[in-house]
């Protein structure tokens, strides 16, 4: 008995989704920082945390949507 299961997504789609996931993780890492404890730390308002990190994470989500919809051009 032969098992002819065929995935909806091709190998390239899975690779692109993994790249998108890595971009999202990078965005969340950019948003993290040291814990402040009880004292005020103005670093929580840094450009990296409130602008760059969310933009990178959002780009990763958009890239995953592109990766799911991507289809190779047939010859």
Query: What was the pLDDT predicted at 64?
Result: 97
C-alpha 45/C-alpha 51 separation (Å) is 9
Q: Which pLDDT band, with edges at 50, 70 and 90, does 35 fall under?
A: low
Cβ atoms of residues 56 and 26 within 8 Å: yes
pTM (predicted TM-score): 0.81
Distances (CA, A) of 27 to 5, 11, 32, 34, 49: 35, 25, 9, 16, 9
The pLDDT of residue 59 is 98
pLDDT tens for 37-57 read 777 777 778 889 999 999 999
Pairwise CA distance, residues 58 & 51, whole Å: 11
| Domain ranges for the chain | 11-33+43-69
Q: CA gyration radius for the chain?
A: 19
Q: Give the model confidence (pLDDT) of 2-19 as tens digits.
A: 666 777 888 999 999 999
């Amino acid at each position: 008995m032969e098992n002819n299961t065929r995935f909806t997504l091709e190998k390239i789609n899975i690779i692109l989704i993994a790249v998108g996931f890595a971009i999202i993780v990078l965005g969340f890492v950019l948003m993290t920082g040291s814990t402040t404890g009880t004292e005020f730390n103005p670093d929580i308002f840094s450009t990296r945390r409130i602008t760059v990190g969310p933009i990178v994470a959002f780009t990763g989500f958009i890239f995953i949507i592109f990766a799911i919809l991507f289809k190779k051009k047939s010859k």
